[in-house]
Amino acid sequence: QLDPENTGFIGVETFASLVHSHELPLDPAKLDMLVALAQGNDEGQVCYQELVDLISSKRSSSFKRAIANGQRALPRDVLLDETGLGFYKRFVRYVAYEILPCEMDRRWYFYQHRTCPPPVFMAAVTLTQIIVFLCYGARLNKWVLQTYHPEYMKSPLVYHPGHRARAWRFLTYMFMHVGLEQLGFNALLQLMIGVPLEMVHGILRISFLYLAGVLAGSLTVSITDMRAPLVGGSGGVYALCSAHLANVVM
- Asked whether residue 137 falls in the same domain as residue 242, the answer is yes
Dist CA 92 CA 98 (whole Å): 10
Which of 75, 103, 135 is a domain's end point? Answer: 75
Which of 47, 75, 103 is a domain's end point? Answer: 75
pLDDT digits (tens, 9 = 90+) for 146-160: 667 777 777 888 888
pLDDT digits (tens, 9 = 90+) for 111-132: 777 777 788 999 999 999 999 9
Cα radius of gyration (the chain): 25
| CATH number for the domain that contains residue 14 | 1.10.238.10
pLDDT at 211: 95
Dist CA 39 CA 45 (whole Å): 5
- Asked whether residue 107 falls in the same domain as residue 55, the answer is no
Task: For residue 191, give the DSSP letter.
Answer: I
Weakest-pLDDT range from 23-37, 123-137, 203-217: 23-37
pLDDT at 248: 67
- Asked whether residue 210 falls in the same domain as residue 89, the answer is no
Stated as kind and residue range, the H or E segment containing 10 is strand 9-10
Dist CA 30 CA 36 (whole Å): 10
Reported pTM: 0.68
Q: What share of the chain is helix, strand, coil (3-state, %, to 5)?
A: 65, 5, 35
Asked if 49 contacts 41 with a C-beta cutoff of 8 angstroms, the reply is no
Weakest-pLDDT range from 6-20, 71-85, 233-247: 71-85
Q: Print the domain residue range for 15.
A: 1-75
